[in-house]
């Protein structure tokens, strides 16, 4: 039996000062797209700042062959939260 390896893409999404509850909401919306998984990355700062989010970023993982409909849904969700809460930074974490 031949083993099939599915290449995964990994990205880091950061919305400056986005509250924890909204990061969770974004993650929940993205996880409704088949093939996408998410993980909240906790704040790494050692100093407490009330205005700073408890979450540093949102990590998303998905297969590199994610279909175009799912990719479009991903963009729509990220852009929606960007319009409501301000621009976001999107960085690829892929090694290649």
- pTM, whole model, 2 decimals? 0.84
What is the pLDDT at residue 96?
52
In a domain, 1, yes or no: no
Based on the structure, what is the number of domains in the chain?
1
Cα 58 from Cα 44, distance rounded (Å): 13
What is the pLDDT at residue 41?
94
What is the pLDDT at residue 2?
67
What is the CATH classification number for the domain harbouring 13?
3.30.70
Dump pLDDT digits (tens) for 1-27: 666 566 899 999 999 878 889 999 999
Nearest to 57 by CA among 68, 66, 45, 46: 45
Expressed as residue numbers, the domain containing 84 is 8-92
CA distance readout (Å), 43 to 21, 67, 73, 85: 14, 32, 27, 18
In a domain, 2, yes or no: no
């Amino acid at each position: 039996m031949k083993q099939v390896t599915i290449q995964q893409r990994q990205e880091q999404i950061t919305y400056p000062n986005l509250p924890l509850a909204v990061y969770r909401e974004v993650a929940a919306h993205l996880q409704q797209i088949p093939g996408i998984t998410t993980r909240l990355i906790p704040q790494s700062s050692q100093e407490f700042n009330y205005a700073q989010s408890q979450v540093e970023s949102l990590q998303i993982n998905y297969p590199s062959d994610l279909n175009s409909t799912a990719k479009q849904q991903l963009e729509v969700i990220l852009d929606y939260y960007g319009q409501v809460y301000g621009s976001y930074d999107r960085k690829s974490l892929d090694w290649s």
